[in-house]
Amino acid sequence: MIALLAALALGCVAPRAEVPPRGVILIVVDTLRADALGPEATPFIDGLAREGRVFTDHVANSSWTKPSMASLYTGQLPAVHGVMEVDARLPDGALTVAERFRAAGFRTAAVVANPLLGRAHGLAQGFETLWEPDGDPPYADALVAQALPALEDLQGEPFFLVIALFDPHAPYAPPPRWRARTCGDCPLDALDDPQREYAGPGPSPAERRQLRGLYAGEVAAVDDALRTLWVRLEAAGLLERSVVVLTSDHGEAFGEHKVYGHAFHMWDEVLRVPLIVTNGPPAGVSDSPTQHLDLAPTLLALGGLPHDDLPGVDLLAPGLPQESVRIADVRMYGVRRISAREGALKATWHAPVDAEAFARFYDDPGRYPSVERGGGRWEVFDLVADPEERHPLGAPPAHLREAIRAYEPNQTW
């Protein structure tokens, strides 16, 4: 890997500007749906969006943290980097954006609330300094306070900084100030951490509204914490000639398809996430199809570093493709689902469950009616005519089926 890093460091990339940014800051908000933002819900983030470049058709490459963040960090799809199962670890030989930045002379630091992004899972590779929690993930305001020493250490040098918040991940327990604003009529014992699926009716309409209200309270608390973080970054001089990228690892479901949370599914409520690049590029809105696979080359290009060996594209370069096949993949607890989308069409392969693996985690499989037993099946949606994915079409188009087959040739169809 040292030889590869040296070769990459000698590569050349056409500079986007005469003076590249001194700092590249990546902010990851866990479990943040694309539709959770707005001028009333998140006024600070909305302000960043107005002043930056917003990508309105951005998706994660998996529906839970480890494979999604591994794709973001490495610029590779899940089947390539291999971080898919619950106990999987990013191999030491994988090359991360942090390692590339560090090899090029950047200081690298990360402050992460989710332990899945820590050393035990291989996702700390390349960070000179990394803070991760010893126990439960801290709330957003506490994580911002924890980030202050890392900010001070980065002053005066080129740097790559990651700040990854855990809120608004379940259980949804916003601080009282925000709970009163978004869910003031919620009972103290309101449901705040639903099961992924229910064999019966599941949460009532009132409980679903309460779940969304509690989630909105956590999103509002994150927005306020990011406002504080911005002030701290500015006071430390770290926003001068620095570019900030804000996104999420995945979204969250609230019963739209009788499922909750994330991890098992390929619905767009768990795959569509925000992407904002601010404090540098000209403001604007792009509806080009983008994915987490593109973030590694984009981050590297922001730092003036080469990225030609990666399959994704620099999202700030001119001429973004208007059509591209985007893959998402989840494999955990014996469940496997792979989706491919291009243009309006999205096809998902639901592989038959590995019953033995599934039984190791769940003693009541009847609670999970969406899990395929017996043969697998395809599900196809026209996302323009049916954006809520309510009306499945027939067989998958050949090019999407072949895209999934090329991505995972060992899958049994």
Distance between first and last Cα of the chain:
36
Phi/psi of residue 366, nearest 5 degrees: -65, -20
The per-residue pLDDT for 170 is 95
Count Cβ atoms within 10 A of the Cβ of residue 219 and give its class: 0-12 exposed, 13-18 middle, 19 or more buried: buried
The per-residue pLDDT for 3 is 41
In CATH, the number for domain 2-11+20-309 is 3.40.720.10
Give the DSSP H/E element, type plus range, for residue 313: none
The per-residue pLDDT for 20 is 61
Give, for all 413 residues of the chain, the pLDDT tens digit: 434 444 444 343 334 444 567 899 999 999 999 999 999 999 999 999 999 999 999 999 999 999 999 999 999 999 999 999 989 999 999 999 999 999 999 999 999 999 999 999 999 999 999 999 988 899 999 999 988 888 888 888 899 999 999 999 999 999 999 999 999 999 989 999 998 888 788 999 999 999 999 999 999 999 999 999 999 999 989 998 899 999 999 999 999 998 999 988 999 999 999 999 999 889 999 999 999 999 999 999 999 999 999 999 999 998 888 888 999 999 988 889 999 999 999 999 999 888 888 877 776 766 777 777 777 899 999 999 999 999 999 899 999 999 999 998 877 66
In the chain, the percentage of residues whose pLDDT exceeds 70 is 94
Residue 229 structure tokens: 């973080």
The per-residue pLDDT for 203 is 95
Residue pair 114/65 in contact (Cβ under 8 Å)? The answer is: yes
Q: Give the C-alpha separation, 146 to 161, whole Å.
A: 14
Residue 177 structure tokens: 């100030």
Task: Assign 379 to helix, strand or coil.
Answer: strand
The per-residue pLDDT for 413 is 67
The per-residue pLDDT for 19 is 56
Global confidence as pTM: 0.93
Radius of gyration of the chain from Cα atoms? Answer: 21
In 3D space, the residue among 409, 333, 308 whose CA is nearest the CA of residue 80 turns out to be 409
Tens-place pLDDT, residues 137-146: 999 999 999 8
In 3D space, the residue among 46, 33, 23 whose CA is nearest the CA of residue 224 turns out to be 46
Q: Which residues pair with 162 in a beta bridge?
A: 26, 110
The per-residue pLDDT for 84 is 92
Q: Where are the domains of the chain?
A: 2-11+20-309, 333-407
